[in-house]
Amino acid sequence: MNIIVCVKQVPDTTVVKIDPVKNTLIREGVPSIMNPDDKGGLELALQLKEKCGANVTVITMGPPQADLVLREAFAMGADRAILLTDRAFAGADTLATSNALAGALKVLDYDLVITGRQAIDGDTAQVGPEMAQHLGLPQVSYVVDCQYNDANKFTVKKETEDGYEILEVEGPALFTVLASGYKARYMNVGLIVEAFNKEVEIWPASKLDIDPNKLGLKGSPTKVKKAFTKATKAAGQVYELDPEQAVDVIISKLQEKFII
Amino acid sequence: MNKADYKDVYVFVEQRDGQIQSVALELLGKARVLADSLGEKVVAFYPGYKNTESAKELIAWGADKVIVMDAPELKDYLTEQYSQAISQAIDKYKPSIVLLGATTIGRDLGPRLASIVETGLTADCTSLDISEERELMMTRPAFGGNLMATIMCTDHRPQMSTVRPGVMQKGVKDDSRKGEIENFAPTFDSSKFKVKLIKSVKENRGKIDITEAKVLVSGGRGVGNKEGFEKLNSLAKVIGAQVSSSRAMVDAGVMPHEVQVGQTGKTVRPFLYLACGISGAIQHLAGMEESDFIIAINKDKFAPIFGVADVGIVGDVHKIVPLLTEKLSKMVEKK
Q: Per residue, what are the HEC states of chain A?
A: CEEEEECCEEECHHHCEECCCCCCEECCCCCEEECHHHHHHHHHHHHHHHHHCCEEEEEEECCHHHHHHHHHHHHHCCCEEEEECCHHHCCCCHHHHHHHHHHHHCCCCCCEEEEECCCCCCCCCCHHHHHHHHHCCCEEEEEEEEEECCCCEEEEEEEECCEEEEEEEECCEEEEECCCCCCCCCCCHHHHHHHCCCCEEEECHHHCCCCHHHCCHHHCCCEEEEEECCCCCCCCEEECCCHHHHHHHHHHHHHHCCCC
Query: Residue A56's CB: how many other CB atoms inside 10 A?
Result: 23
User: What DSSP element (H or E) covers B97?
Assistant: strand B97-101
CB–CB contact B306 A227 (8 Å): no
Q: Which of residues 108-127 of B touch A (CB under 8 A)?
A: 108, 110-112, 114-116, 118-124
As a whole number of angstroms, the distance between CA A99 and CA A85 comes to 14
User: What DSSP element (H or E) covers B19?
Assistant: strand B19-20
* Full pLDDT tens readout for chain A, 260 residues: 999 999 999 988 767 776 766 666 677 778 899 999 999 999 999 999 999 999 999 999 999 999 999 999 999 999 999 999 999 999 999 999 999 999 999 999 999 999 999 998 888 999 999 999 999 999 999 999 999 998 899 999 999 988 899 999 999 999 999 998 999 999 988 899 899 899 999 999 999 999 999 999 999 999 999 888 766 566 688 999 999 999 999 999 888 877 66
Say which residues have a Cβ less than 8 Å from residue B252's Cβ, sequence separation at least 6: none
* Alpha carbon of A193: minimum distance to chain B alpha carbons (Å): 33
As a whole number of angstroms, the distance between CA B270 and CA B67 comes to 33
Q: How confident is the model at residue B143 (pLDDT cuts 50, 70, 90)?
A: confident
* Domains (range + CATH), chain B: 3-192 (3.40.50.620), 210-334 (3.40.50.1220)
As a whole number of angstroms, the distance between CA A170 and CA A149 comes to 10
Say which residues have a Cβ less than 8 Å from residue A2's Cβ, sequence separation at least 6: A54, A55, A57, A108, A109, A110, A111, A112
Higher pLDDT pick, B148 / B94: B94
Of residues A9, A107, A24, A139, the one with CA closest to residue A65: A9
Average pLDDT, chain B: 93
Q: Which residues of chain B does A95 touch, with a Cβ-Cβ cutoff of 8 Å?
A: 114-115, 118-121
Say which residues have a Cβ less than 8 Å from residue A104's Cβ, sequence separation at least 6: A59, A82, A84, A203, A207, A208
pLDDT of the residue at A231: 61
pLDDT of the residue at B203: 79
**Identity of the residue numbered A59:** I
User: Is residue B207 over pLDDT 60?
Assistant: no
Mean pLDDT computed over B222-245:
94
Q: Which residues of chain A does B324 touch, with a Cβ-Cβ cutoff of 8 Å?
A: 247, 250-251
Q: Does B149 touch chain A (CB under 8 A)?
A: yes
Query: Residue A218's CB: how many other CB atoms inside 10 A?
Result: 12
Q: Which of residues 6-35 of B touch A (CB under 8 A)?
A: none
Residue ranges of alpha helices (H) inside B70-198 are 79-93, 106-117
CB–CB contact B107 A141 (8 Å): yes
* Strand partners of residue B197: A167
pLDDT of the residue at B65: 98
Q: Which residues of chain A does B331 touch, with a Cβ-Cβ cutoff of 8 Å?
A: 251, 260
3-class secondary structure, B83:
helix
As a whole number of angstroms, the distance between CA B100 and CA B123 comes to 9
Torsion of CA A10, B149, A124, A211, to 10 degrees: -90
Peptide bond between residue A64 and the one before it cis (omega within 30 degrees of 0): no
Helix A127-135, helix B106-117: angle, nearest 10? 50
As a whole number of angstroms, the distance between CA B331 and CA B316 comes to 23
User: Is residue B209 over pLDDT 90?
Assistant: no
Q: Kindly report, residue by residue over B13-65, the tens digit of the pLDDT.
A: 999 999 999 999 999 999 999 999 999 999 999 999 999 999 999 999 999 99
**Identity of the residue numbered B283:** Q
**Identity of the residue numbered B274:** L
DSSP assignment letter at B84: H
Peptide bond between residue B72 and the one before it cis (omega within 30 degrees of 0): no
Say which residues have a Cβ less than 8 Å from residue A175's Cβ, sequence separation at least 6: A41, A44, A112, A113, A114, A115, A139, A140, A141, A143, A146, A154, A156
Mean pLDDT computed over B205-219:
81
Q: b/e map of A90-116 (b: 16 or more CB within 10 Å)?
A: eebbbbbbbbbbbbbbeeeebbbbbbb
Q: Which residues of chain A does B317 touch, with a Cβ-Cβ cutoff of 8 Å?
A: none
Contact B92, B186 (CB under 8 A): no
Contact A185, A43 (CB under 8 A): yes
Contact A162, B206 (CB under 8 A): no
Q: Does B208 touch chain A (CB under 8 A)?
A: no
pLDDT of the residue at A56: 98
Cα separations (Å) of A122 from A158, B6, B123, B215, B229?
22, 29, 9, 31, 33
As a whole number of angstroms, the distance between CA B166 and CA B157 comes to 26
Say which residues have a Cβ less than 8 Å from residue A33's Cβ, sequence separation at least 6: A9, A10, A11, A12, A69
Q: Kindly report, residue by residue over B304-314, the tens digit of the pLDDT.
A: 999 899 999 99
As a whole number of angstroms, the distance between CA B137 and CA A109 comes to 40
pLDDT of the residue at B256: 87
Angle, CA A214 vertex, CA A209 and CA A216 arms, to 5°: 110
pLDDT of the residue at B269: 87
pLDDT of the residue at B201: 93
As a whole number of angstroms, the distance between CA A40 and CA A44 comes to 6
Q: Does B163 touch chain A (CB under 8 A)?
A: no
User: What DSSP element (H or E) covers B192?
Assistant: none
Which among B104, B148, B295 is the nearest to A160, CB-wise? B104
Cα separations (Å) of A41 from A32, B107, B310?
18, 18, 43
